A and B are shown apart, each in its own frame.
Chain A
Amino acid sequence: MIRFTHVYKEYPRSGLALKNVSFQIQKGEFAFLTGPSGAGKSTVLRLIHMADEPTDGEVRVLGLSSQTIRRRQIPELRRRVGMVFQDFRLLRDRTAADNIAFCLEVTSTRRSQIWPRVQRLLADVGLAAKAGAYPDELSGGEQQRVGIARALANNPVVLLADEPTGNLDERAARGVVELIRSIHATGMSVVMATHDLDLARRYPQYRVIALDEGALVSDTAQPETVRRDGV
């Protein structure tokens, strides 16, 4: 489903963000991507989302390769790969429901299907009563739930979460993680980046891929094969 093969990513200003990273994530898997700040977690997620191209190596997502994908194929891929961010990235001038509806509208969903789907998504994330609230009227946890509902709007098969609990208090964070776990339980693959190792340790049943300074340093799915140089 997702495969990194000897991936390098170098940014002109900040230098090498990923060094020879290789791993594979299967359908229905839940993987934590851990590591300190600057380890390359967000870069991995951006590469999966095809928001960046690897400098070397290949990223393959849902059968599409970073080496051959065309620009016009990227929107289609992103509809199948939902993404959640630490800073929620909601439009402040639209209500919770409008934020989700917006996502459906711009991906050419039929108008008659938009509002029933928005209501169901809000109910799924426990915010049916807050449909008309603007982001500034919602707590951090609630805003993140709207972000998750938006990420699920187009029925993706993979959910990427970039530090989704980073801006939340412990209680809200636990609620968001439980929500993501329940989404995973429906069969969706989840890749969740977090610098919080304790969070990953709380769920030993899930895979943990650890990065440090751009290199893959450990992978619970392949404990014996990973060294610090990622080979």
Chain B
Amino acid sequence: MGYSIREALAAFRRAPGLAALSAASIGFSLFVFGIFALAAYNVRLTLRQAEERVEIVAYLVDDLDAGQLEVLQNEVRAFPEVTEIRFVSKFEAMRNAVRDLPEFRDVFTDLDVNPLPASLEVRLRPEYRDPESVARVAERIALYPFVEEARYGQDWVEKLDRLRRIAGAVASILGTAFALVAVIIIGTTIRIAVFARRDEIAIMQLVGAADGLIRRPFLLEGLLTGLAGGLLALGLSFLAYLAVDRSLIHIAWLPRTWVAAQVAAGAVLGWLSSGAAVRRHLRAL
């Protein structure tokens, strides 16, 4: 292993230009992917924030007693789709209306009787925020005799769902295309770097080096080149994020797992490409 590490590092010293060029090619191809990931992540985040607002409001009959309310709350809370429920009393509904609609404050305070119904706000788990699930849960809640009506903004939920599907499809297609471009560029770059050292491989074979020993320094070199490219891509992606965040629109930086995946992708692709390129030369003799 000591030999492999020494040789891999020595290869960078002997041909620093080629090593830098390889790392830069990998870095820029992963940077393009990183920019795409940044855009996809922020679109996803925005959609998720919009989805957070998906909720069902069950308006309750006026003569509901405390026992019935407790039964209703317990049963709805037990639905597998439901993550959280909140009871809004008639008094709270009026207070909210006065707060949210100040232009009607006088109208509300002049009323002898509070006309606003009590309600139950029902929030669903993220995986059940699609139109079908929301409608299903709303229908089930509406079946209770002390529920007057269950509303959830059907039109808005359907539009949001369509938007989410379109974003998912575009992300899949573009993501695959960008990933393929990165794989091809990285594969070709490493292949050229290995080809430049084909004499070395041939000589190693001629003097009796085992295939594994020939392969190891190249694998390590591919891994390090890919890692350098991945780090370069990460740096460039972060600069792009800062530029957009400070001058155009506030966006979120990628989560740690995505960042790690970007760097690891460079290293793994460098390693795999190197292995494939060396194998081709090993077969030749």
Q: Does A112 belong to the interface (CB within 8 Å)?
A: no
A111 to B5, CA, bound (A): 14
Which residue of B is nearest A108, CB measured?
A: B213
Q: Annotate A139-179 by CB proximity to B: 1 below 8 A, 0 otherwise.
A: 00000000000110110000000000000000000000000
A sample of 5 cross-chain residue pairs with beta-carbon separation below 8 angstroms, ordered by A number, consists of: A51-B285, A89-B202, A102-B203, A106-B3, A151-B207
B contact residues, range: 20 to 34
B207 — which chain A residues lie within 8 A by C-beta? 78-79, 103, 106-107, 150-151, 153-154
Give, as a whole number of angstroms, the nearest-CB distance from A27 to chain B: 20
Q: Does A63 belong to the interface (CB within 8 Å)?
A: no
Whether A106 contacts B199 in the complex (CB less than 8 A), given A72-B210, A93-B14, comes out as no
Q: Does B211 belong to the interface (CB within 8 Å)?
A: yes
Q: Does A77 belong to the interface (CB within 8 Å)?
A: yes
Q: Annotate B1-38 by CB proximity to A: 1 below 8 A, 0 otherwise.
A: 01100010000001100000000000000000000000
Q: Does A198 belong to the interface (CB within 8 Å)?
A: no
CB distance A106 to B202 under 8 Å?
A: no
Give, as a whole number of angstroms, the nearest-CB distance from B198 to chain A: 11
B3 — which chain A residues lie within 8 A by C-beta? 105-106
Query: Which residues on B are within 8 Å of A, measured CB to CB?
Result: 2-3, 7, 14-15, 199-200, 202-211, 213-214, 285
Give, as a whole number of angstroms, the nearest-CB distance from B142 to chain A: 73
A75 to B7, CA, bound (A): 20
B203 — which chain A residues lie within 8 A by C-beta? 89, 91, 102-103
Q: Annotate A88-125 by CB proximity to B: 1 below 8 A, 0 otherwise.
A: 01010100000000110111100100000000000000
A148 to B90, CA, bound (A): 100
Give, as a whole number of angstroms, the nearest-CB distance from B110 to chain A: 94
Give, as a whole number of angstroms, the nearest-CB distance from A109 to chain B: 10
| A window 54-98: CB within 8 A of B | 71-72, 75-80, 83, 89, 91, 93
A33 to B7, CA, bound (A): 37
A-B complex: 7 closest residue pairs judged by Cβ atoms? A78-B208, A79-B208, A106-B209, A103-B207, A75-B208, A75-B210, A106-B204
A72 to B209, CA, bound (A): 10
Contact of B208 among A76, A93, A111 (CB under 8 A): A76
Which residue of B is nearest A104, CB measured?
A: B207
A contact residues, range: 20 to 34
Contact of A91 among B15, B200, B205, B210 (CB under 8 A): B200
A83 to B203, CA, bound (A): 10
Which residue of A is nearest B3, CB measured?
A: A105
A77 — which chain B residues lie within 8 A by C-beta? 208
Query: Which residues on A are within 8 Å of B, measured CB to CB?
Result: 49, 51, 71-72, 75-80, 83, 89, 91, 93, 102-103, 105-108, 111, 150-151, 153-154
Which residue of B is nearest A49, CB measured?
A: B206
Give, as a whole number of angstroms, the nearest-CB distance from A62 to chain B: 12
A106 — which chain B residues lie within 8 A by C-beta? 3, 204, 207, 209, 213-214
Most chain B C-beta atoms within 10 Å of own C-beta, residue among A51, A102, A106, A153 = A106
Give, as a whole number of angstroms, the nearest-CB distance from B282 to chain A: 9
CB distance A91 to B199 under 8 Å?
A: yes
A219 to B248, CA, bound (A): 86
Give, as a whole number of angstroms, the nearest-CB distance from B3 to chain A: 5
A79 — which chain B residues lie within 8 A by C-beta? 207-208
B210 — which chain A residues lie within 8 A by C-beta? 72, 75
B7 — which chain A residues lie within 8 A by C-beta? 105
Contact of A78 among B2, B200, B206 (CB under 8 A): B206
A108 to B204, CA, bound (A): 12
Which residue of A is nearest B282, CB measured?
A: A71
Give, as a whole number of angstroms, the nearest-CB distance from A196 to chain B: 24
A108 to B206, CA, bound (A): 14
